[in-house]
Amino acid sequence: MRPDRAFVALCFGCAAALALASCADRRASAARSETSSAGSQPAVSGSVPEMSFVHIPDGSFEMGSDANPSSDQSPIHTVTITRPFELQTTEVTQAQWRAVMGSDPAHFPGDDRPVEQVSWTDAQEFIRRLNRLDPGKAYRLPTEAEWEYACRAGTTERDDLDEGAWVHRNSESQTHPVGLKRPNAWGLYDMIGNVWELCADWKDSYPAGPVTDPAGPPHGYYKVCRGGSWFDVGAAANPTFRASPGPDDRGNSQGLRLARAAAH
């Protein structure tokens, strides 16, 4: 068993013990139905929520950490991102999730709080529906490398946790509305803290040498979550820490942020 599995099990174990909370729907979504242009797929109900994205340029960075050479964050290796993309400025909120899915699974209710209690599989359904409602944007989860690249935002300095992140010591044991803390250098809020952010990849060990546009292996047992949450202390609330949920694991500290194709 991988060493970080116990940590993640702790997070999700705590989450599972908490009852689901219903969320008042203050913003009744303007529901509409869409049928694909092919006409062969069933209609998708829902509406395209307001979302903000920033352009992430191509470039290279040093991924990982050698602070503990036996950890899954090692070795540090050069990653080149060859394709610019766009990344959502905030975590997906409950209002955004509800607009697309018609329901809100979050434990901590609030339209502007991040959605949580969503699994990687749930996120794929959200993205599938959103791409049907808003075709041509190619919404997806970021790869783990794209996430760390964007979190670092061209720097090697760690941001001040209290100014930039909701973590255990300042969260009062709950999520907070997105976008209240200081954004990173690329205008991204809450990359560290608030909720863990699902990535697209199946988890794998890091390569010893440089790689280009890594996207993980084709199959695996665990997905990857990044950034730590309201529940976590500094070791996990770090640009390099890799949590390992199963694809159907949910927890009240796990959410997502969308990537999409550049140039919209």
DSSP 127: H
Residues in the chain: 264
**Least separation in angstroms between CB 195 and Ca ion:** 5
* Binding flag, residue 227, Ca ion (CB under 5 A): yes
The first and second tokens of residue 101, run together, are 């899915």
* Binding flag, residue 119, Ca ion (CB under 5 A): no
**Least separation in angstroms between CB 197 and Ca ion:** 5
**Least separation in angstroms between CB 240 and Ca ion:** 14
Find the part of the chain contacting Ca ion (CB under 5 A) among 80-88, 130-138, 140-148, 190-198.
190-198
Q: Closer CB to Ca ion, residue 12 or residue 133?
A: 12
Cβ atoms of 37 and 31 closer than 8 Å? no
Q: How many residues bind Ca ion (CB under 5 A)?
A: 4
Of 183, 178, 223, whose CA–CA distance to 204 is shortest?
223
Residue number of the CB closest to Ca ion reads 227
17-21: Cβ within 8 A, 24+ apart: 18/107, 18/252, 19/107, 20/105, 20/107, 20/117, 21/106, 21/107, 21/108, 21/109
* Binding flag, residue 194, Ca ion (CB under 5 A): yes
Q: Closer CB to Ca ion, residue 110 or residue 227?
A: 227
The span from the CA of 218 to the CA of 261, in Å, is 21
Find the part of the chain contacting Ca ion (CB under 5 A) among 29-37, 62-70, 96-104, 189-197.
189-197
The span from the CA of 166 to the CA of 146, in Å, is 22
The span from the CA of 198 to the CA of 235, in Å, is 18
Q: Closer CB to Ca ion, residue 105 or residue 227?
A: 227
- In degrees and rounded to multiples of 5, residue 118 shows phi and psi of -120, 140
User: Which of 190, 201, 232, 249 touches Ca ion by CB under 5 A?
Assistant: 190
**Least separation in angstroms between CB 26 and Ca ion:** 23
* Binding flag, residue 232, Ca ion (CB under 5 A): no
**Least separation in angstroms between CB 179 and Ca ion:** 11
In the complex, the residues that contact Ca ion under the rule CB under 5 A are: 190, 194, 197, 227
